Amino acid sequence: MLKKTGKHPLYKSVDRRSFLKGTAFGLASLAIPFGTSDASVWDAFFQKHFREMDDDEIKSVIKRMEKEYADEYKTDFKIKTTGPLPGVKFGYGLDLSLCIGCRRCVYACVKENNQSRDPQIHWITVLQFKNGERWVNVFEEADRYYNPQEVPEEGHFYMPVQCQQCENPPCVKVCPTQATWKERDGIVVIDYNWCIGCRYCMAACPYGARHFNWGKPHIDKSEINPDVHYFGNRPRYKGVVEKCTFCIQRTRENPGRYPACVEICPVGARKFGNLLDPESEIRYCIENKRVFRLKEDLNTSPKFYYFFSI
Amino acid sequence: MSDLFQPAKNLFTAMKFVAKGGKWYYGWLALLSLFIFIGAISYIKQLDKGMILTAMRDQVSWGFYISNFTFLVGVAAAAVLLVVPAYLYNFKPIKEIVLLGEILAITAIIMCLMFVISDLGRPERGWHILPLIGAMHFPASLLAWDVLVLNGYLAINCIAVFYVLYRLSLGKEYKMSVLWPIIILSIPWAISIHTVTAFLYNGLSARPFWNASILAPRFIASALCSGPALMLLIFQIVRRVSKMEISNTAIFKIAELIAYTMGLNLFLFAAEFFKEFYSGSVHLAPMQYLYFGLHGHSNLVIWMWLAFIFNLTAFFIFLRPKTRENFFTLNLACVLIITGVYIEKGMGLIVPGFIPDVLGEIYEYGPSLIEKGVALGIWAAGALFFTLFLKFALPVYTGELRFKSSGFERKE
């Protein structure tokens, strides 16, 4: 399962962890009044790195989290930990000749992935360019706050940017705690319970794909999506980093579903599929259209392809 | 004659020394305590509401805290590096320089750690970065390297200072045969902490302003200006308030050395300035923002030119024997350099890494009140720690404070 997806330099986890637990419990009992020391707070504090946990530990963590989320949002949550499907590597295509800059993808993503509404977090940024201006790799002339009555605006074109799911992700390389890594299906995930919020990954990401919970995320109870994945759209915490996961909670199902942004796009500009399947739509696009990837000079090798159908 | 309570009695003696002082001393402590209080309140607020109380946002995701951290790594490194010229020129007060430099290094590293922790979104998870109990991402993450070298440096300097003070407090001379290996280790280590910290930014290809090979050399050069300048001020205060003797010759020699390191710093700056502006590629934007403003955004321009003028003025003051041997101009130049490098290696280094951001947006950053409060508190905590440490270490050094042996150690 997921546990075996990557190398991990750690061993003997149980012994040292329980040692730490004992010491810290001793110290903590001095500091925290007994009445308020809820056991689940401490379970959360001592929760291990996801890839160090065995199946039973994962189960108990999920149970604890489902209860925490249910208490907070008054809805029953189902937290999946579905691993990568064998023989799958996800790729994404975006047809720039069709995109009209309507931002439906942005808001479908917010809704599906339980992004904080206040403060507002968007995983997709749509850049607007004037015809004839510099673009592709120089974004200084881009406007990401365009707000006209109607889109598309005459003389403008649009380029949505989100996590490019790099094959060679700089964010993963720099994370000091291994809280983020690339899974076998190519999705770069974050363990929101292991991230310390140092934001080194945000400095390293060339695409502005990573977002920080500067304040406590707030979502109306009525707008919550309770069908969540551990690495994906479960509600986040204050002080951790989050990002697009190609809707891991949908795409890892079997049969899989399209990411919310692909599903909502009114002009069909967004394509998604398995790069390892020669018959897939994404492979067709790569092989038959003029594709390019953002900031190729950085050798991050994104699995996010922009192309032109017209 | 072994006495179980002797350590406690010794502690009491030390406390008496630390607690004794004139009205200036108490006033200083009171002022620092007030600042620490302000800092604590600010930090508690930040913990409660989150980092939304800072002015940092996704576009500029590091700010004032990391700027201060970077500057202080330089101070920590350079204080100890003074040992090299002190040894080469055979200064008489070399031991004093070593001791003061190492205490300053300890203080600066502790402040660095406080600044980094203030910058964490989840400080209670800080242990995740540690080896063995956490999941340190070594050797891939430069931040993991930084944790190792900074804490290693802290340990080395603590051991050295503890050894010297321990021997002296019992009225015994410390052995240079024990101390030298530690000092010899600490010198390359001092270079390493600043190099690793530079590499932390240098390695990010997403940020062209940092992704320039000149970054690490400029770090070292500017640290070799600000660290010694700070030490010169501390030397003068110390020899005024204690019996420790530091000769003018040593002070003037260090001032002369600062002229050379500042010359180097200005040269490296010119090299970077030329490359960026002459070639004028799209990667010029951050430099353009710093020195001339970009698309009407120019918050840092005045500061960057001030820093440049400060550094240049100090360079000439230290270059001329007449002005560097006059204590008024000497101290003026020290203050100019500390301020100049603080701007250049603080906000002037961190913020332009994020302006324009990777998607071309310009978000002008300036620290919020909470960030200023926390920073004030950390600076005051550092100053308090340094003051109290010296208040104890100086009388031990000059022989005014002596402990009785608890009788446990072997006789010599």
Region of A223 on the Ramachandran plot (φ > 0 left; ψ -120 to 50 alpha; else beta): alpha
Is B139 in CB contact (< 8 Å) with chain A? no
One-letter amino acid of B185 = L
Spans of all domains in chain A: 2-76, 78-310
Interface with A, mutate which of B67, B204, B284, B294 (most A CBs under 10 A): B204
pLDDT of residue A21: 52
* Of B134, B207, B360, Cβ closest to residue A203: B207
Nearest chain B residue to A159 by CA distance is: B359
| CA atoms of B265 and B224, how far apart (whole Å) | 9
Collapse the DSSP code of A234 into the 3-class scheme (helix H, G, I; strand E, B; otherwise coil) and give the result: coil
Q: Which residues in chain B are contacts of A44 at CB distance < 8 A? A: none
Among chain A residues, the shortest Cα distance to B203 is held by A204
| Cβ contact, residue pair B122, A177, below 8 Å | no
| Chains A & B: contacts with CB separation below 8 Å | 158
Q: Two tokens at B212?
A: 């320039």
Cβ–Cβ below 8 Å for B128 and A196: yes
- Please report the residues numbered 31 through 70 in chain B whose beta carbons come closer than 8 angstroms to any beta carbon of chain A: 49-52, 54, 56-59, 61-62
Q: What is the pLDDT of residues A173-208, one digit of tens each?
A: 999 999 999 999 999 999 999 999 999 999 999 999
Q: What is the pLDDT of residue A37?
A: 53
Using CB atoms, pick whichever of B49, B58, B204 lies closest to residue A215.
B49
Cα nearest neighbour of B141 on chain A:
A174
Say whether residue B4 is in contact with chain A using an 8 A CB cutoff. no
CB contact under 8 Å between A177 and B129, yes or no, is yes
Q: Give the three-class secondary structure for A4.
A: helix
Out of A16, A125, A240, name the one closest to residue B122 (CB). A240
pLDDT of residue B11: 85
List pLDDT tens digits, range A58-67. Answer: 999 999 999 9
- Distance, CA of B72 to CA of B113 (rounded, Å): 10
- Other C-beta atoms closer than 10 Å to the C-beta of A254 total 7
Picking from A52, A175, A202, the nearest residue to B61 by CB comes out as: A202
Q: Are B63 and B55 in contact (CB under 8 A)?
A: yes
Taking the C-alpha atoms of residue A75 and residue B217, their distance in angstroms, rounded to an integer, is 56
Reported as a pLDDT band with limits 50, 70 and 90, residue A228 is very high
**Chain A residues 233-272 with a CB less than 8 Å from chain B:** 237-241
Secondary structure tally for chain B: helices H, strands E = 15, 0
Q: Map residue B260 onto helix, strand or coil.
A: helix
Tens digit of pLDDT for each residue in A108-150?
999 999 999 999 999 999 999 999 999 988 899 999 999 999 9
| Chain B CA closest to residue A141 | B360
Looking at domain B21-398, its CATH architecture is Up-down Bundle (1.20)
Closest CA to B343 of B385, B321, B314: B314
The SS3 call for residue B385 is helix
Query: Which residue do the tokens 């004659």 mark?
Result: B1
For all residues of chain A together, what is the average pLDDT? 90
Chain A residues touching B57 at Cβ < 8 A: 214
Q: Is B129 on the interface with A (CB under 8 A)?
A: yes
CB-CB: which of B58, B135, B359 is closest to A127?
A: B359
Cβ-Cβ contacts under 8 Å, A52 against chain B: 135
Q: Does A1 touch chain B (CB under 8 A)?
A: no
More confident residue, A171 or A19: A171
Q: Which helix (H) or strand (E) holds A161?
A: strand A156-161
The CATH classification number of A78-310 equals 3.30.70.20
How many other C-beta atoms can be found within 10 angstroms of the C-beta atom of residue B277? Answer: 13
Contacts of B129 in chain A (CB under 8 A): 176-177, 196
Shortest Cα distance, chain B CAs vs residue A254, angstroms: 32
Percentage, residues of chain A above pLDDT 90: 84
DSSP state of B4: T
**Residue B92 confidence (pLDDT):** 78
Are the Cβ atoms of A16 and B147 closer than 8 angstroms? no
pTM of the model: 0.92
Cβ–Cβ contact A174 with B under 8 A: yes
User: CB A178 to CB B135 under 8 A?
Assistant: yes
Give the sign of the dihedral formed by CA A292, CA A293, CA A298, CA A303.
negative
Under an 8 A CB cutoff, do B359 and A161 touch?
yes
Question: Taking a contact as any Cβ pair under 8 Å apart, which residues of chain B between 158 and 197 contact chain A?
Answer: none
Contacts of B125-128 with C-beta under 8 Å, sequence gap 24+, read B125/A177, B125/A194, B125/A195, B125/A196, B125/A197, B126/A196, B127/A20, B128/A49, B128/A177, B128/A179, B128/A194, B128/A196
Average confidence (pLDDT) per 10 residues, chain B, 412 residues? 75 86 94 98 97 97 98 92 82 81 96 98 96 94 96 96 91 87 91 96 96 95 95 94 88 94 97 96 95 95 97 97 96 97 96 96 97 98 97 90 66 40
Residue in B283, B108, B143, B79 with CA at minimum distance from that of residue A204:
B143
Query: What distance in Å separates the CA atoms of residue A268 and residue A282, rounded to the nearest whole number?
Result: 13
Taking alpha carbons only, the member of B36, B190, B32 closest to residue B106 is B190
CA distance A278 to chain B (A): 32
- What was the ipTM of the complex prediction? 0.93
pLDDT-based confidence at residue A4 (cuts at 50, 70, 90): very low
CA closest to B126 among chain A residues? A196
